[in-house]
Structure 1
Amino acid sequence: MQIKYTLPLLAVAGFLFATYTAINSNNPTPIAEAITEPASAPFKAFIAGAGIIEAQSRNIAIGTPLPGIVKAIAVKVGDQVKADAPLFYLDDLDTLATLAIKRADLTKAKADVTIAKATFNDAKSLSDLAEAVTDRRAISAEELLKRRNAMLITKARLESALALVQQAEANLADTETTLSRLIVRAPVEGEVLQVNIRPGEFAPTGFLNTPLLLLGDLNQLHVRVDIDENDAWRFDKNSKAIAFLRGNRSFKVDLSLAYVEPYVVPKKSLTGDSNERVDTRVLQALYRFDRKQLPIYVGQQMDVFIEARDYSTNKDSENSQNDAKGPSS
């Protein structure tokens, strides 16, 4: 009897469980509450864009003209540096050894010039004595020719020695230039934003995803705004613009246009929104603002709203005028 009723009961229980699971799976997933309320546009018609803070001089990714092992770092994050100040040093032992060789070569070349000058002066004196003899019977034509040729040969050797001095000086200057290039210096006055290299590490040349060192002039900050290419035709350089600090919309600041980069580029700055388009191009406008009004850092994002002309009002006005005129006869 127990087996007779057990199987139907299990079947009913399985059906009820499946029904319960199906009903619960159809319930909408509750939407997670936003950590902070998003900023709202202060204009009736506007262009919205994501902005990212950067230095007035742009964020300068410092590279090295020569590859090598880093010997020492001269700065740390947050340091204020003057233009041409040393940032870090590359290993220079090989270059210093080469420099010593080039200096010795220059010293030898100058010594050879001294010898060549003395030899030339001796040959010239003998030639002058021979030329001063008025009685050609006192000296043979062959001897006179030898002395003339000897003077010309020593003169050519002197010129060659002088040329070798110039070559040695050029080689020395080349090595000194290489030595100076092993000291990476600041191209502009600014603040050190990042240091991503350590003593003993290898510093490569060329483009790097992570710069060796990041530098920027923070006396004035800019916000780089990405304007979708579909809204580029609505953008007006003279329009008002307001930026809200990402994460706290109570911090806002009026923007003034610094300049617009007229070349439309592929979008790179991502906001993280699930509905964000990434397969688009953007017009980049750079705005300046008073950094004292905001607790903000380079690389931080802002929500930017730019006032735009309300074209929908113009269309409604045109439609009403067409309706008032009626059909054309």
Structure 2
Amino acid sequence: MKRFAILAILALAGIAAALYAVFDTGRSTDRPGIGLTAPPPPFAHFVAGAGLTETGRGNVAVGTNLPGIAREVLVRAGEGVNAGAPLFRIDDRDASSRLAVADAAVQQAQAGLAAPQHRLGYLQRLNSRGQDLVARDMVTAAQDDVSAATAAVAAARAMQVQARTTVDRLLVRAPVAGKVLQVNVRPGQYVDNAAGGPPPVLLGNDERIYLRVNIDESDAWRVRPGARAMAAVRGNPGQRIPLHFEYIEPYVTPRASLTGQSTERTDLRTLQVVYSFPRDGQRVYLGQQMDAYIQTAPTPSPAAGRNGPG
């Protein structure tokens, strides 16, 4: 009897705990958030588009001339580099050994040229002292030997240049001056341009930031070259940045960036309009998305087009 009473009490306690948990989770524990009031659009008539920041000449994806294992990385992200500055080195031990062999081959060929040159000079000196002291065939043969040895030296030097070029190509240098935006290579990592993925090093110049704005093809006709524009930083809509018009790319391209919304058209094509603005301490980074507003003329109403002369 006592055991039955204990089991009954435990069962009632479990039911009470379950009911409390159900009612407690049903309560709203979210605190009311502070709403951010979006500022009004900067223009009365405009088209809007998402823009992606980049450098003026475009970001330079630096690859490797020859695939191989990265031996050392000579730069870090955020560093400024001059054109020709070394960025990273591919393992060059095999290429360096081939260069040493080519250097030795040049020395050997040069040594092989000395004997024919001496013989030819000797025969020419004999001929200069009197006529018919040396047969003409001997002089001709000596000249041929010198020509062959000279060609051997030239071939050896060409192989030397080729070997040295291979060693130089394994040291990847900056093609332009700029800032190192990304370093995606580490010592010991296999580097191959054909493998895909991010480039080993990404270069750019962020003194002036360019904004590539994607405008839906249905609004492309409303955009005019030189139109005023304003950009807003996502997450901080109060930060508005005036934009300077650069150019319009005349070729409409498929939309590359998607938001993932169910109502979004994936077959949409966009017109790319490029604006720019100086950094001037702006907390904007390359590769960042911004919202752009481009001023347009008022859109004529459909009724205005139908009300023609009868």
Using structure 2 for the length normalisation, give the TM-score: 0.82
160-169 vs 285-294, which deviates more?
285-294
Secondary structure at 2:285's aligned position in 1?
coil
Classify 1:317/1:293 alpha carbon distance in 2 versus 1 (closer, same or farther; 3 Å).
farther
Structure 1 residue aligned with 2:41 = 41
**Is it true that 1:222 corresponds to 2:210 in the alignment?**
yes
Q: Distance between the aligned counterparts of 2:185 and 2:261, measured in 1?
A: 33
**Is it true that 1:266 corresponds to 2:248 in the alignment?**
no
Structure 1 residue aligned with 2:23 = none
Classify 1:70/1:318 alpha carbon distance in 2 versus 1 (closer, same or farther; 3 Å).
closer
Deviations 1:224-259 (A, max 9, x none): 101112222211012211111111111111111112
What is the Cα deviation at residue 209 of structure 1? 2.6
CA contact (8 A) 1:67 1:205 kept: yes
Task: List runs of 5+ in structure 1 lacking aligned partners.
Answer: 1-32, 134-143
CA contact (8 A) 1:83 1:186 kept: yes
**Is it true that 1:284 corresponds to 2:272 in the alignment?**
yes
Classify 1:275/1:318 alpha carbon distance in 2 versus 1 (closer, same or farther; 3 Å).
closer
What is the Cα deviation at residue 38 of structure 1? 5.9
Using structure 1 for the length normalisation, give the TM-score: 0.78
Structure 2 residue aligned with 1:305 = 293
In structure 2, give the amino acid aligned to 1:83. A
183-192 vs 207-216, which deviates more?
207-216
CA contact (8 A) 1:36 1:248 kept: no
Classify 1:225/1:118 alpha carbon distance in 2 versus 1 (closer, same or farther; 3 Å).
same
CA contact (8 A) 1:59 1:214 kept: yes
Secondary structure at 1:311's aligned position in 2?
coil
Structure 2 residue aligned with 1:56 = 56
Structure 2 residue aligned with 1:7 = none
**Is it true that 1:194 corresponds to 2:194 in the alignment?**
no
CA contact (8 A) 1:239 1:308 kept: yes
Of structures 1 and 2, the larger Rg is shown by 1
Q: Which runs of structure 2 are paired with 1:17-96 in the superposition (5 Å)?
A: 41-96=41-96
Classify 1:43/1:209 alpha carbon distance in 2 versus 1 (closer, same or farther; 3 Å).
same
CA contact (8 A) 1:56 1:219 kept: no
Classify 1:306/1:159 alpha carbon distance in 2 versus 1 (closer, same or farther; 3 Å).
same
Secondary structure at 1:262's aligned position in 2?
coil
What is the Cα deviation at residue 88 of structure 1? 0.3
In structure 2, give the amino acid aligned to 1:63. G
In structure 1, give the amino acid aligned to 2:76. K
Q: Distance between the aligned counterparts of 2:35 and 2:96, measured in 1?
A: 58
Percent identity over paired residues: 37
Structure 2 residue aligned with 1:257 = 245
CA contact (8 A) 2:206 2:279 kept: no
CA contact (8 A) 1:252 1:294 kept: no
Q: Distance between the aligned counterparts of 1:274 and 1:44, measured in 2?
A: 29
In structure 2, give the amino acid aligned to 1:309. A
What is the Cα deviation at residue 208 of structure 1? 2.5
What is the Cα deviation at residue 44 of structure 1? 2.9
Structure 2 residue aligned with 1:208 = 196
What is the Cα deviation at residue 103 of structure 1? 0.7
Structure 2 residue aligned with 1:149 = 137
Count of aligned residue pairs for this structure pair = 278
In structure 2, give the amino acid aligned to 1:168. A
Q: Distance between the aligned counterparts of 2:278 and 2:192, measured in 1?
A: 38
CA contact (8 A) 1:51 1:225 kept: yes
Q: Distance between the aligned counterparts of 1:221 and 1:303, measured in 2?
A: 15
Structure 1 residue aligned with 2:118 = 118
